[in-house]
Amino acid sequence: MEIIKLHYPNDEKISNIEPSAAALGFFDGLHLGHIDVIDTMKEIAEANGLKKAVMTFDPHPSVVLDPKKQRTTYLTPFDIKMKKLEELDIDYVFVINFSSAFAGLDKDYFVKEYIIGSKIKEVIAGFDYTYGKKGSGTVVDLKQYEEFNTTKVDKHELDDDKVSTTRIREYLDNHDLDKANAALGRAYDIEGIVVQGEKRGRTIGFPTANIEPNYRYFMPAKGSYAVTMTIENDDTVYKGVASVGVKPTFHDNARLTTEVYIFDFSRDIYGENVTIHWHHFVRDEEKFDGIEPLIAAIDSDAKIAREMLQDK
Q: Are residues 138 and 202 in the same domain?
A: no
Could you tell me the pTM of the whole model?
0.91
Alpha-carbon span 93 to 113, nearest angstrom: 16
Shared domain for 152 and 96, answered yes or no, is: yes
| CATH, residue 218 | 2.40.30.30
Q: Where are the alpha helices (DSSP H) in the chain?
A: 32-48, 62-65, 78-87, 100-103, 107-110, 139-142, 165-173, 177-184, 291-308
Helix (H, G, I), strand (E, B) or coil at 278: strand
CB 223 within 8 A of CB 284: yes
Say whether 95 sits in a helix, a strand or coil.
strand
Identify the three-state secondary structure at position 150.
strand
Domain range for 118 is 2-162
Residue 206 lies in a domain: yes
Does 178 reside within a domain? no
Q: What is the pLDDT of residues 218-263, one digit of tens each?
A: 999 999 999 999 999 999 999 999 999 876 445 555 678 999 999 9
State in Å, rounded, how far the first CA of the chain is from the last one: 31
Question: pLDDT, tens digit, for every residue of 57-95?
Answer: 998 888 888 777 777 899 999 999 999 999 999 999 999
Instruction: Give the integer Cα–Cα distance in Å for 245 and 238.
Output: 22
Decide if 85 is inside a domain: yes
Residue 191: inside a domain: yes
Domain count for the chain? 2
